[in-house]
Structure 1
């Protein structure tokens, strides 16, 4: 069968991608199973099924029962805990996973809630990812979180599609199963839909009256209808997120202004819900209808998906399930479109884009086809690295690298040639790129917030600073690849140093600190030219990595370190560090650093130290010095002006660092302030 051939090909391609992801030296390569979890959870996050996924393998016991999880994902509001359980065979061929194994391992995942409720983290090494994960789950349970999902992912094939809900440690637990067949649907199309057949009568729901669009030449059919609040509740209660899997983003939770309004309307003025709500947009493979008298009614759906209105649906469900609100007077307008299979991928994003006006979807949600990403992809094909033997591959959409390999690698020799000129290690995705660039832009707290949030934050910043239609040039591309090389090199260093926890946080904070200490003037062109870091820079970063780790953990002051790393306060505390530079400056530090004389090298270090000292102050601190200088006369007018300028630089996150001359004057201003009794906090300038 064609589907079986596709499935075998997908399994083989997925295995290749996981092997590429797991590539690393003997000291630092990822476990293959971890790479599998990374690949799958990133995709689930990309389509909004989970938020903030973190891969972390943990096994243990609670009483006589085993516990096993491969990671977790927790929305920002902490109202749900998602536990990831991987069943990974890693053969690249189709293995069968028994229903008994799926059930057993799903139960072991759910038992992690019981372990967390008993504070198992107190028995774990504090400086470990396992401790951070179990501590975070324990905190959420103590705070009253009552919803959880266990998401089983496997590269094998299994017949079980769902498991009965359970209650563990006082938490309502539901289960999602992603076997190789469902993963293929998810990862090939960017959509995770499982075809659901809904018979309203069998679910105890009445048929839905509707008005059918007059027939025409268009290849789709549309119906206008009104769903009762109870009907929407029952559909979501029965099928959960599976009917929202074509939705372009995750449910934003009732903490958002719009969702709070939905809840408040249901509570205070349920009869006005129909008037106030924009309604939902539904697609289906099949819409089954009948007649009650002369009225057309919908009796069932096949392949139903709510592509717009996921927040309305989930808010209605929560209003009844959690807040115990009455839905009898709540009604929701609905537009239902039956789509032919060949039109699904084209039309669903457009329906979602044009229908959604209630919560404005940022263009980042549809950004694969934006001019920026198209231009970067084009540059990756046109620009070869020095020596013209290899190039980088920008994967604007998931699976492009494997597709290109399949097209060009029709023989073993051609496939080998493709990999030689476009190595798997040179493949970067759009979310990878955002991580690299935001780290260099000194936003490690944003990067620590998760792949999707960081990507959206990067796209928003880029649009605000450059405009939505801006296209990068070759200079931008080379600098971006240099930042990629830097980030990946730091990532390898952090792995080799054997840090047991917080590796991604150490990596992004170390890159940001380097950018901060060099005032953003590191020779990215030199990194591009060599396609690597110098030994001197690698040695310095290796030394600094331990101080960065210590600072992140100590500044957390007993708080959950993973959550603390997402706070700007963590970055503000860390950038105050004045880490030493022993010996000569690395050659990337500035122009011709290797050829500097001893005196020139010392002067260059002094300039960087002065810049770092200035950048340790906030905008408020520099402005206070500016006002103090004017009021007391202890600063010359031009010195007060420099303090004001540095305040504005700090207010913009030091995107524009001080010049060497400004930095030297800034240090002198700080010395005068200290000598003349300025009452504010000042950094130590004796660097």
Structure 2
């Protein structure tokens, strides 16, 4: 198991690698990495943003606004960046929180009028002032992030007031970040205590145990009010953002016929890893996740929060499934979520975590070596991390020698996170306004695009796709460095400038009906000098354009989220003559794609044959028995039945590629239907 100290060392290495590869300050990398983790577990919304302001007695580094719960979060940090875990003292805590409070007070007094409109801090100060004027803040939350460990002398920090508004305090230290890592890579994260009647559902499944329960509106309100988006299954969190108006039908039932709510509403479907019961009541739920019922939860919460309706007479049915195998927790929750969400429209991206895309990318990342360069004799991989913490988790049980070898072959600066990949891909796909909307919106768009692509061509993720994807990541990182080092850059809107600059390069090439040859970037693992020079020109032009929005437009950050901003930027014309040797024509691309498809078909055929041969014969016997019972054989063609029967009886010693494909598909079909091998 990974220890806290090992996690801390890996965390610091992640920050160092991220800052060096992207040209960021270590403090910026620290802020982004921690906030991404907090967003993934629901502690922050996908609207969080960086906004630095430092003045005598006041300090802030970022913010977040939970529109549904009317909670405004101000973020500061204490970044020690030492090899040993430092202690965050009481003095540190008091200073950081007092400076955040002072900043909030200055904002209410009209601080924004003294700031440059092109700064991130202006948007933050203006929003606080406007939200407070319009009674849109019910609570302030002051958040201090640190790579240290909170002193044991602080066990609780009492709530305070900022201009008569409740203010609560929270410290995210290395222990908290470690617990996030452990919960994502093992089990357990938080408990919910409650008291609801239940019926235990009798089932023969060894995978889970189900319960039917009934909770009232107040209980559901209190749970969401305390835990927020932590309750929402991660894959559908964007789908259940609680945006827009409250469903009128549900609201009307709450207001006029609360006693009929149970009859009219489908309730919620949830999962957990453990429950405790006593005298016919569920008293505690561990890792509670709502996988269906977002509209119900939203309507009930908003009915009390916004409309001040009485929800105590509302009864909600709850179907709760508790997974027995903790190792399969993520897969189980995602599957329940997918099959439970049938009555509402759900985006393809909501279940992207189960996409074959990740397996393909992971396989290529393990198989493809990067050419040695700069005199180095060590060949390396780009490590694709589908789930945060995979890189560290894969080293958990390695010997010191094996761990060192792993780190040499998979250097930290060659780690690709799926959310970063989504940024580089969508930027090149000419969607900078989507990238500017934030990580979750951007990832949703990327997931939808990949899903559509795989539906049209299941062989789309090839070795060339992987190499090009890595090259785009390199392009994105190098462009970040260019912006950060530029004399014209004023420490604001770097992310938007980078996304729009890459999109503009892609757009100009696209208009010429040409294709960019990423092979040179892959081969050299860096941008050619002539491309660096072009990007310096593009980034300056883009920065000047986006930081001067048209009259009447919203602030710059909001302007960059609009397609009209992209339509304005893509009219910029740049001479690409210096990099004309890096273009390919349509015929070249078609030939490469055909060759890649043939190669991948061959690879898939070999992999399938290997799977069939390596699977124990006992499993094929049980599979044949599964299809021969309960009329399952009727779903098979005569050819399928014949091949399965002969192979299970040992009459086919070495199946051909076509026979293997038939057997493989039957095996996967049965697994999806719930078939399991029974081991004696």
**How does the TM-score come out when normalised to structure 1?**
0.73
Residue of structure 2 equivalent to 1:303: 286
Deviation readout 1:302-339 (Å, 9 max, x if unpaired) = 53624334553354233213311111331100134455
The answer on whether the counterparts of 1:85 and 1:151 sit within 8 Å (CA) in structure 2 is yes
Structure 1 residue 157: deviation in Å? 2.8
Deviation of 1:560 (Å) = 1.0
Match in the other structure for 2:534? 540
- Mapped pair 1:195 → 2:217: no
Query: 1 or 2 for the larger relative contact order (CA 8 Å, sep ≥6)?
Result: 2
Name the structure 1 match of 2:144.
152
Verify the 8 A CA contact 1:186 1:193 in the aligned structure 2. no
How do residues 284-295 of structure 1 correspond to structure 2 at under 5 angstroms?
285-290=274-279
1:394–1:304 Cα change, 3 Å = closer
Verify: 1:17 aligned to 2:14, yes or no. Answer: yes
Size of the alignment, in residue pairs? 564
Separation (CA, whole Å) in 2 of partners of 1:406 and 1:179: 22
Q: How does 1:434-445 map to 2 (within 5 A)?
A: 434-445=422-433
> Mean alpha-carbon deviation: is it higher for 128-137 or for 503-512?
128-137
Alignment correspondent of 2:561: 566
Compared with structure 1, are the counterparts of its residues 563 and 193 closer, same or farther at alpha carbon in structure 2 (3 Å cutoff)? Answer: farther
Aligned match of 1:37: 31
Contact 1:209 1:225 survives alignment (8 Å): yes
Tell me how far apart the structure 1 counterparts of residues 69 and 565 of structure 2 sit (CA, whole Å).
20
Given that 2:362 and 2:384 are in contact with CA atoms closer than 8 Å, whether structure 1 keeps it comes out as: yes
Question: Does the C-alpha gap of structure 1 residues 114 and 514 become closer, same or farther in structure 2, counting only changes over 3 Å?
Answer: same
Residues 471-510 of structure 1 deviation map (CA, whole Å, 9 limit, x = unaligned): 5011222222222222222111111105121001110101
1:163/1:250 Cα in 2 relative to 1: closer, same or farther (>3 Å)? farther
| RMSD over equivalenced CA pairs, Å | 3.4
SS of alignment partner, residue 398 of structure 1: coil
Distance 1:545 1:503 in 2: 10
Contact 2:217 2:312 in 1 (8 A): yes
Assess, with a 3 A threshold, how the Cα gap between structure 1 residues 35 and 457 changes in structure 2: closer, same or farther.
same
Q: Deviations over 1:56-85 (max 9, x none)?
A: 433335xxxx33322223468895433223
Q: In structure 2, what is the Cα distance between the partners aligned to 1:380 and 1:184?
A: 26
What are the equivalent positions in structure 2 for 1:228-627 lying under 5 Å apart? 228-237=216-225, 239-241=226-228, 244=231, 248-250=235-237, 252-256=240-244, 259=247, 261-280=249-268, 281=270, 283=272, 285-290=274-279, 296-298=280-282, 300-301=283-284, 303=286, 305-308=288-291, 309=293, 312-337=296-321, 342=326, 344-345=329-330, 347-357=332-342, 359-387=344-372, 389-404=379-394, 410-411=400-401, 417-467=405-455, 469=458, 471-498=460-487, 499=489, 500-519=491-510, 521-557=515-551, 559-579=554-574, 585-590=578-583
With over 3 angstroms needed to count, the CA separation of the structure-2 counterparts of 1:233 and 1:479, relative to structure 1, is closer
Where structure 2 has 5 or more consecutive residues not aligned to the other structure, the ranges are 373-377, 586-680
Is the 2:76–2:143 Cα contact (8 Å) retained in structure 1?
Answer: yes
Q: After TM superposition, give the deviation of residue 564 of structure 1 in Å.
A: 0.8
CA contact (8 A) 1:20 1:424 kept: yes
Instruction: Map 1:67-216; keep pairs closer than 5 Å.
Output: 67-74=58-65, 79-98=70-89, 101-102=92-93, 105-147=96-138, 148-158=140-150, 159=152, 163-169=157-163, 171-190=165-184, 194-196=189-191, 198=193, 207-214=195-202
Contact 2:261–2:315, Cα closer than 8 Å, also in 1: yes
Output the CA distance in 2 between the equivalents of 1:302 and 1:549. Answer: 50
1:359-401: per-residue Cα shift (whole Å, max 9, x none)? Answer: 4554534433421121011112222234593332211221222
1:224 aligns with one of 212, 215, 219: 212
Residue 475 to residue 258, structure 1, CA distance change in 2 (3 Å): farther
List, as ranges, runs of 4+ consecutive aligned residues in structure 1 with deviation greater than 6 Å: none
Q: 1:405 to 1:277 in 2, by over 3 A?
A: same
Secondary structure of the structure 1 residue equivalent to 2:444: helix
| 1:435 positional shift | 0.9
Contact 1:226/1:332 (<8 A) preserved: yes
8 Å contact from structure 1 (residues 55, 72) kept in 2: yes
CA distance in 2: counterparts of 1:21 and 1:276, whole angstroms:
51
CA contact (8 A) 2:158 2:168 kept: yes
Unmatched 5+ residue regions in structure 1? 201-206, 291-295, 593-687
